[in-house]
Amino acid sequence: MTEFFADAEASFNDAKFVFYGYPYDGTACFRKGASKAPDEIRKHSYNFETYLMELGIDLCDVSANDWGNLKITKNQDKNEKSLTELVSKIVDAVKFPIGIGGEHSLTPAAVQAVHSKYPNLSVVILDAHLDFRHEYEGNPKSHATVTRRVSEIVGLDKVRSIGIRSVSQSEISEARAIGLKFIESGWTELREYLTDVIDELDGPVYLSLDMDVIDPAFAPGVGTPEPFGMTPYEVLQTINFFADRIVGFDCVEVCPKYDNGNTSALAARIIRHLIGAVWQSQERFK
């Protein structure tokens, strides 16, 4: 790790938000390079003012800690065990975990830890891909199986996927048959859909942002880019809808070498907005 995420220099004990990096892309199947994203996103986080104009708050008033990157090995099970242990430490201390990937296979291990703290946890996944395969290339822990694994942890009825536009025929047939709820990209009434989700899901929410949910016109540097995606403003709108209930977050699948830093910068700015939105809704007005 080259530097902390901007404005995340509080001690672990004093922090409300705790960052960690997961520099792993061992199951990437199209573009590799997401392992470089945690440090690139950190670097680009210094580009921005601490004042969030859209929220009217200053991140100087929000205490955050950057734990650093997990030590990654070639053993995926060992990596995920370390990840779960770290996220458990964060949530058991009543702090908010922010995972920076790395590939999307980060999410199930993090959700497992947060679910242990919050048994009624729901998971909202922003992703271009349904990721509902049983396994991919012989690996049940592939980035292409994330939604399946998460649904096994929290229950199918507690998962909502948003922004879907890439799926195998067998995946979507099974997903529809067993009742997985998801929304394709390109809808016209996002607010209406999000309002329905809020009504359907009770309790705390874990939010996972796969940056490929955003159209590659805005975020070209991802592992598996898909046209016809969400705009950054739609992502912020989704964050705002759930902000008062989010208890954990990850941002994954940035692949820095495939652009000039714009996707890493966008990821950093979205993360900063999420911190502000969560703090504003959960802490400032208690």
| Ranges of the chain with pLDDT below 70 | 1-2, 187-188, 284-286
Measured from the Cβ of residue 184, the count of other Cβ atoms closer than 10 Å reads 13
User: What is the pTM assigned to this prediction?
Assistant: 0.95
Q: Give the pLDDT of residue 163.
A: 94
Q: Give yes or no for a contact between 255 and 101, defined as CB atoms under 8 angstroms apart.
A: no
Per the annotation, binding residues are: 104, 127, 129, 131, 210, 212
In this structure, what are the phi and psi dihedrals at residue 102, rounded to the nearest 5 degrees? 70, 170
Specify the pLDDT at position 240.
96
Write b or e for each residue in 225-254: b if 16 or more Cβ atoms lie within 10 A of its Cβ, otherwise e.
Answer: bbeebbeeebbbebbbbbbebbbbbbbbbb
Tokens in use for 149?
């694994």
Q: Provide the pLDDT for residue 285.
A: 59
pLDDT in tens, 158-201: 999 999 999 999 999 999 999 999 998 876 678 888 999 999 99
In this prediction, residue 187 carries a pLDDT of 66
For 276, what's the count of Cα atoms within 13 Å in the CB-facing half-sphere?
A: 20
Domains by residue range for the chain, with CATH: 17-284 (3.40.800.10)
Annotated binding site for Mn(2+): 104, 127, 129, 131, 210, 212
